[in-house]
Structure 1
């Protein structure tokens, strides 16, 4: 195993200082977006002068009662029950078994795929509660947001500690980028490539189930809360809330339905599982990505049919680019080429597409993702830039991923990568970047 697990010699994220800063920064941003954009704080952002706001933040951080208020035992039990439900659904619901990519050991991880049916079951239960007892019965996720977020953070920390400790057992296959020997960095970036509990692959499970599905359930709870405030019937919610709920639910359901596509992504094939992925999957995705729906609970925007149609058109354009680009790639990887796309063959024998969407840019799926991300923010209007945080953050994230991928491909393909980049010069946005 020592030959298969060479020591990591190259740091990402500025090494241990960067890993430590991000480990603290991600929870900080999550809470800051709540306290800086919520009706409980007074608005988005709260109408306070900068000096007053600074004094208030300083006083809160120095107050033990403020820290204690971040914890909610009832919310923690709800979150634990939710996570247990996801595990039980994975174990009990039927699902095919799909082999992942070939590992350095020559073997393949076997993944059970039933994330889509897990989501349908969760949504069925939620909708049953709403139909039986009314929207007010499903507003508790909105009311318990802060406690649920704290419980998710605790779960992420606990998992990161466990998988890091377990990675030192003999026979473990480590991530090439997570074996530096620095405890802070390896704990953050992920030391073991595929940590598992029995047949349950922890990394792919967290990527698709607890956080993504909770994102949709949170949005549904926000819609119910708005409905209660507007008369009690779910059809009373604003058109902007309907659009956010529909766009993001469709995005999640589409990703879960195409679950096997996850197993060829960099997160699964290259990255270890550590705090970076744990906190991203369990905390950041559901509680930050749902900011638009939470904002619309109290800042209710009516778009009208003209603006609503425009926003729908933007989202559909992004989805079209995202889905057709991914289909081209997946078809090609599976030996199909229905569009007769052009490609080059590298010295390693790999084939790289240079036409279709993948000739327009190296990451056209990222381009589609960005367009959809903008469409999710547009229903909130332009009263505050905070609701556009997702779009700005996602743009930075995708550029970083693109640079990581390009660096890895340059090492993998050598001179052939230089030829490829000449043929496909644009990285994400055709004719722009």
Structure 2
């Protein structure tokens, strides 16, 4: 029995290093992310007076003190709609065909298998949406704009339920825990994710949430905003070029991610992070309802860009996409034992090979540079009348810098002095000659 306990403790060692300032930071973010999701709606909405509205602190505090305000955040219709959507994606995972691929080797020597059908789930959803619009017109999908806060509430409830469920399930015998989520502090472990890959049979909860319910919903929300604008302006032919640009950029980004689904299984989220409230609320609430802010803004601030600005913004987005896809392509080829460009690399004492030329010779995270350029292109169609529509770019930059720092720290521990050699060969973190 003693040797068995020792084996479990060796496999799931106690976490001694905190991120996000430890339990106080985890608690603050657990409350802060849902709060900010609501704030970004109320701070940029025609129903509250603009983007941003003129703020009267006394009025805001008075509203928050009234039970009617809190009741208004609940919407039974929106809850049923969101729950229906979530179960649609679950059923699609089960019934749609898809290849099974193996992930990386885990600490217990095993490899998880993942079903690849996120792209076909997206196509099915789009087919149903387009069919409905063809038969009924744009009116049915104005529901999303009209029930926005209720849909946020529903997604947040789903996030909380999942966070609690996976945290409780992580205490079962044999669970493989995340190295960063076994601190023993319930607030921190609930937030950061205690179990590495919570699953129900072959259904992996983490990878499912990463690519399906929230990511596809993001595109459907953008379609809902197009429909709302079409109703207001008298048809789809009257929808502004700015709205079409935002939809094209964001839907292409999502479709590309889903089409290249296997690439996600080499990311930090899948390999090292546990699944807890942090990923649940990010996947289910933050992504669809914050990332679609530009499209929602363009519903009530209808901007016509014209051909020159449209061309320039498209060029910026294409440049970002090219960098993002080319860099990830080099990385994935190299990790799979291919090197078609004959890129230079260094070999560490562990035997690991690190790229030092191509995009990965320009910076240690060139894919992040492409991501940031695309994020900027998504905001540019909203003009410069408000900084709020650029929240995504600022937030995303902070997120990627934090993620890069986490990766740098992990590699420092993993490679030791070899990592210092590598950083001399590739000194720039994300943007060459800038950062």
Q: Does TM, normalized by the shorter one, top 0.5?
A: yes
Could you tell me how far 1:235 is from its partner in structure 2? 2.2
Q: Deviations over 1:235-290 (max 9, x none)?
A: 21000000000000000000000000000100000000000000000000000000
Q: In the alignment, which of 226, 238, 241 is matched to residue 239 of structure 1?
A: 241
Q: In the alignment, which of 28, 43, 58 is matched to residue 55 of structure 1?
A: 58
CA distance, structure 1, for counterparts of residue 414 and residue 148 of structure 2: 44
Query: Which residue of structure 1 lines up, in the alignment, with residue 414 of structure 2?
Result: 412
CA distance, structure 1, for counterparts of residue 143 and residue 210 of structure 2: 25
Summarize the alignment of residues 171-190 of structure 1 with structure 2, pairs less than 5 Å apart: 171-190=174-193
Could you tell me how far 1:135 is from its partner in structure 2? 1.1
CA distance, structure 2, for counterparts of residue 420 and residue 214 of structure 1: 40
Q: Is the 8 A contact 1:360 1:424 kept in 2?
A: yes
Query: Which residue of structure 2 lines up, in the alignment, with residue 282 of structure 1?
Result: 284
1:156 aligns with 2:156: no
Query: Which residue of structure 1 lines up, in the alignment, with residue 21 of structure 2?
Result: 14
CA distance, structure 2, for counterparts of residue 322 and residue 149 of structure 1: 30
Summarize the alignment of residues 232-381 of structure 1 with structure 2, pairs less than 5 Å apart: 233-381=235-383
Give the count of matched residue pairs.
428
Q: Deviations over 1:100-135 (max 9, x none)?
A: 100011001110010000001001101111111111
CA distance, structure 2, for counterparts of residue 28 and residue 289 of structure 1: 15
Q: Over aligned residues, Cα RMSD in angstroms?
A: 0.6
State the TM-score, normalizing by the size of structure 2: 0.98
SS of aligned partner of 2:11: coil
Query: Which residue of structure 2 lines up, in the alignment, with residue 215 of structure 1?
Result: 218
In structure 1, list runs of 5 or more residues that go unmatched: none
SS of aligned partner of 2:115: strand
Query: Which residue of structure 2 lines up, in the alignment, with residue 201 of structure 1?
Result: 204
Q: Is the 8 A contact 1:402 1:427 kept in 2?
A: yes
CA distance, structure 2, for counterparts of residue 88 and residue 236 of structure 1: 36
Could you tell me how far 1:143 is from its partner in structure 2? 1.1
CA distance, structure 2, for counterparts of residue 137 and residue 259 of structure 1: 30
CA distance, structure 1, for counterparts of residue 359 and residue 201 of structure 2: 40
Q: Deviations over 1:79-113 (max 9, x none)?
A: 00000000000000000001110001100111001
Could you tell me how far 1:149 is from its partner in structure 2? 0.6
Could you tell me how far 1:344 is from its partner in structure 2? 0.1
Could you tell me how far 1:47 is from its partner in structure 2? 2.8
| Superposed structure 1 runs of 4+ greater than 6 Å apart | none
In structure 2, list runs of 5 or more residues that go unmatched: 1-7
Q: Is the 8 A contact 1:341 1:356 kept in 2?
A: yes
Q: Is the 8 A contact 1:129 1:138 kept in 2?
A: no
Query: Which residue of structure 1 lines up, in the alignment, with residue 144 of structure 2?
Result: 141
SS of aligned partner of 1:175: coil
Q: In the alignment, which of 36, 42, 57 is matched to residue 43 of structure 2?
A: 36
Could you tell me how far 1:197 is from its partner in structure 2? 1.3
Q: Deviations over 1:372-431 (max 9, x none)?
A: 000000000000000000000000000000000000000000010000000000000011
1:383 aligns with 2:385: yes
Query: Which residue of structure 1 lines up, in the alignment, with residue 33 of structure 2?
Result: 26
Q: Deviations over 1:30-89 (max 9, x none)?
A: 0000001001111101134xxx2x112211211111001100011000000000000000
